[in-house]
Chain A
Amino acid sequence: MKVIYNTLFKRTSTFAVVCIGSAFFFERALDVASESFFESVNKGKLWKDIKHKYE
């Protein structure tokens, strides 16, 4: 815990980098998770599930 604080959170510069970096990964994770959840709930109804019939 102390290591994390001293290396990442103590200085504003590193803290800002941590904020921006973690926001990027958090958003990617949330996007991917919610999209895969949406697609599994609506399996068979979406265009990506039926487009193979028409290509």
Chain B
Amino acid sequence: MAATLGRICGSKLLKSVPALNLQQANGLSTAKTWTNGQKKLVATIGALTGGVGALIYALEQSVEASGTEVHPPKMPWSHSGLISALDHSSVRRGYEVYKQVCSACHSMKYIAYRNLVGVTHTEAEAKAEAEGIMVRDGPDDAGNYYDRPGKLSDYFPSPYPNEEAARAANNGAYPPDLSYIVSARHGGEDYIFSLLTGYFDAPAGVVLREGQYFNPYFPGGAISMAQVLYNEVIEYQDGTPATQSQLAKDVATFLKWTSEPEHDVRKQMIIKVVGIMTFLAAITYYIKRHKWSALKSRKIFFVPKKD
């Protein structure tokens, strides 16, 4: 490619007399042949693009600032670094919290027991977890539906058969499915942590209906989920003190994993990409120097014809 470039405009690229540069740029420009109308059109498109971009940016900013809810502070998660993996002990504890607390109302229908294998549980443990639930299966040979213990391939059970049943049992509020909740909420795991630990009595002037609780991190402030995490509300298998913030942190880490099961692989991929891109950049730089060396060291002489 460098050779082609050199053939087409080699002498122009080599000259470095300042006064000639403008002239050369002028010679390379394609805008010279434009009519006035075309120039105006291009200018209008440019101004419109810039203006619309600025407007969208401004609107986005003002939306961020509106509303009365408190934005969650950034927490120093052990997985928030560029190449930091999830803390799998924490994910495992978070599964315990989900199973014993959250799953009473929240479904997690996109996560199967097989997903736990090699992440938080061994295969035998995951099988044991799955066998703890009953799954409606069928039809069998006689056409009947039957209940059987869960298998690795079964998804986590839902507490309610459908959304209507969930609403009827929760004052009309629908407990959202938690599979992808960290990706589905502004603030991600910071929001989950702040929400779970942010309950307090409603300030004067805030009217709550029956079955509602006050949480400043929840948009609107009135949340239908009561505070569920208290110190020692469950006991961890590994003996970690189950304080409220520990429970919230672990379950938020677990929900981060369910939302982004590829998290660790993705972070590892960053290292590979940086490595290979560094290598390719070095090669590209070398080849550029190599190919241009002939052109850059070329000298042109004027040899007068001898009579």
The residues of A with any CB-CB pair to B shorter than 8 Å are 30-31, 33-35, 37-38, 41-42, 45-47, 49-51, 53-55
Would you call B268 an interface residue if the criterion is a C-beta within 8 Å of the partner chain's C-beta atoms? yes
Chain A neighbourhood of B125, CB < 8 A = 54
The residues of B with any CB-CB pair to A shorter than 8 Å are 78-79, 83-89, 92, 118-122, 125, 238, 264, 267-268, 271-272, 275-276
9 A-B interface contacts by CB (under 8 A) = A30-B272, A31-B272, A37-B271, A38-B268, A41-B83, A45-B85, A46-B88, A47-B119, A49-B88
Chain A neighbourhood of B87, CB < 8 A = 45
A-B contact count (CB 8 A): 46
A54 touches B83 (CB 8 A): no
A51 touches B122 (CB 8 A): yes
Shortest CB–CB separation between residue A33 and chain B, in angstroms? 7
Question: How many angstroms from the CA of A34 to the CA of B264 in the assembled complex?
Answer: 13
Select the residue from A37, A42, A46 with max chain B CB neighbours within 10 A: A42
Q: Output the nearest chain B residue to A51 by Cβ-Cβ distance.
A: B122
Question: How many angstroms from the CA of A42 to the CA of B266 in the assembled complex?
Answer: 14
Q: Which of B83, B89, B267 contacts A50 (CB 8 A)?
A: B89
Question: How many angstroms from the CA of A17 to the CA of B86 in the assembled complex?
Answer: 41
Question: How many angstroms from the CA of A54 to the CA of B238 in the assembled complex?
Answer: 10
B88 touches A54 (CB 8 A): no
Shortest CB–CB separation between residue B66 and chain A, in angstroms? 38
Shortest CB–CB separation between residue B93 and chain A, in angstroms? 11
Shortest CB–CB separation between residue A19 and chain B, in angstroms? 13
Chain B neighbourhood of A30, CB < 8 A = 272, 275-276
